[in-house]
Structure 1
Amino acid sequence: MMNLNRLSYFAAVVDTGSFTRAAERLGITKAVVSQQVAQLEQDLQTSLLVRTTRRVQPTEAGRMLHARCVLILREAEQAVDELALTVAEPTGVLRVTAPNDYGVAAIVPVVTAFAVRYPGCRVELTLGDTTQDLADGRIDLAIRVGWLPDSSLLARRIGTFRQVLVAGQDLFDRVAEVRRPDDLAALPFIANLALRDPLAWTFVRGDSERQTVRLRASIAIDTTPGVLAAVLGGGGISVLPDYLVAGDLAAGWLHHVLPEWQLPSGGIFTVAPSARFRPRKVTAFVDMLLAAVRSTAREDGS
């Protein structure tokens, strides 16, 4: 009978592209991983991996087996998760993805607190501005910020954020002369390429005034923290989320440009794959995240 543990070792090697990183993920030695994968190849009488000096890649047979392994291992995890629903403490591996900026500012503290409270559950947090596909079942929960398209995924709005037009200290004198959104064309603008349309902005003042401006980028950067760094460095003005700039505004490093004009607010969402049940590890994490978001909102007076 085949040792099914070898499938998890093999899948980890393919996922990480390395025996060393696979061993680190699994919490065992590289020698054990290498030995078990070699035994799996012997059991199947076929080569599953091509080993180079830089990376380990699957053969065609390896790719076919890996696709099946992902499904098999996920089904096994779900079976354990279903059983875990009958116990009080979350267990297993919780895989979460979040945008880089909001992840560092708000999700990492919750992950840290969650790991301390539930030592039987290990958290793998992936940060990045690329939206990951949840359909393959590798991610338990995604945190998304902004505006969600319609989909079959289960989304829950847990908070909101404001967009703020800001300038660094080097531009304070120039932005003091700005009176209306139309005046912004005279200032250098830093575009955030992570946004769908980073140059068009609609400002609203009161109930009747509305202006849409299209700005020309002097700098374009594909991550939100990168845009913030460029603004602080004097490269230009830009629109950034309030949770990212609140500290710098309070310290005087940034200036809120046109504060009487409002930009559209966005949402903060938890997004999960459609499933017949929600594992205890997911519900417990969402509960902690929601409590943290509400606490921050109360502190901000919103």
Structure 2
Amino acid sequence: MNIRAGWLDDSAMMSRKLGESARALVVGSDYAATCPAPEHPCDLEDWDWVRYRHRSDYTRLSGPGGEEAKVLGQARLEVDSVDALYHFACKNLGATVLPEHLAARGEAEGKLSRLFPDWRLKPLGIFAVWPDTSRRENLTLLFVRFLAKELHQ
């Protein structure tokens, strides 16, 4: 069994949604200080970005009034680890999208600045995923039910 953050593609695996995790658009504080303050997410098109390889090249945001924005940006670096996203954003290599807990940590340490805090990104789904070896009661299924119950309290 695996715990996976992100939305699942069609799969032969069994899965159960355990919850969701908010995400935030951030940039290294020193990098932000070198750029003109953006007034709209589209102003970020010319900024450097650190991209997560398993995510779309576009960042989609929803504004407080329901406005939608889709930003491509210039991918300066592409990584396949959320820890690497956090590290390189803190090193001022560009803007990125991070899970809320990492964005809050970087912001509290003064390393990251939040961009457009009134705008929302689609949250990450958190799923338990396991092979469909048997639909009968087994330890994996019992553990998944336990996790789901504990996380929804």
TM-score, normalisation: structure 1: 0.45
Code of the residue aligned with 2:103 in structure 1: it is V
In the TM superposition, what is the alpha-carbon distance from 1:284 to its structure 2 partner? Answer: 3.4
Q: Is 1:205 matched with 2:74? A: no
Match of 2:118 among 257, 260, 263: 260
Equivalent of 2:127 in 254, 261, 269: 269
- Say whether residues 1:159 and 2:31 are aligned partners: no
Give the distance between the partners of 2:60 and 2:147, measured in 1 at CA. Answer: 34
Question: Following the alignment from structure 2 to structure 1, what is the Cα–Cα distance between the partners of residues 20 and 34?
Answer: 31
- On the 8 A contact 2:18/2:147 being kept in 1, the answer is no
Q: Number of aligned residue pairs: give it.
A: 152
2:49 paired with 1:189: yes
CA contact (8 A) 1:169 1:254 kept: yes
- Looking at structure 1, the residues matched to 40 and 7 of structure 2 have their Cα atoms a distance apart, in angstroms, of 26
Please show how residues 76-115 of structure 1 align to structure 2 within 5 Å. none
> Which structure would you say has the larger RCO, counting Cα contacts within 8 Å and 6 or more residues apart?
2
Question: How far did residue 226 of structure 1 move?
Answer: 1.0
Structure 2: gaps spanning 5 or more residues? none
Aligned position for 1:142: 2
Residues 231 and 238 in structure 1, CA contact (< 8 A), matched pair in contact too: yes
Please say if residues 47 and 74 of structure 2, whose CA atoms lie closer than 8 Å, have aligned partners that are also in contact: no
In 2, distance between residues paired with 1:192 and 1:144? 15
**Which deviates more, 223-232 or 206-215?**
206-215
Could you tell me how far apart the structure 2 residues matched to 1:260 and 1:186 are? 21
Larger strand fraction of residues = 2
Q: 1:158 to 1:248 in 2, by over 3 A?
A: same
Q: Which amino acid aligns with 1:169?
A: S
The answer to whether the Cα contact below 8 Å between 2:46 and 2:74 also exists between their aligned partners in 1 is no
Which of residues 72, 97, 101 is equivalent to 1:243? 101
The 1:227–1:287 alpha-carbon spacing in structure 2 relative to 1, beyond 3 Å, is same
Deviations for 1:66-118, whole angstroms, at most 9, x for unmatched residues?
A: xxxxxxxxxxxxxxxxxxxxxxxxxxxxxxxxxxxxxxxxxxxxxxxxxxxxx
* Structure whose alpha-carbon radius of gyration is higher: 1
Q: 1:142 Cα deviation (Å)?
A: 1.7
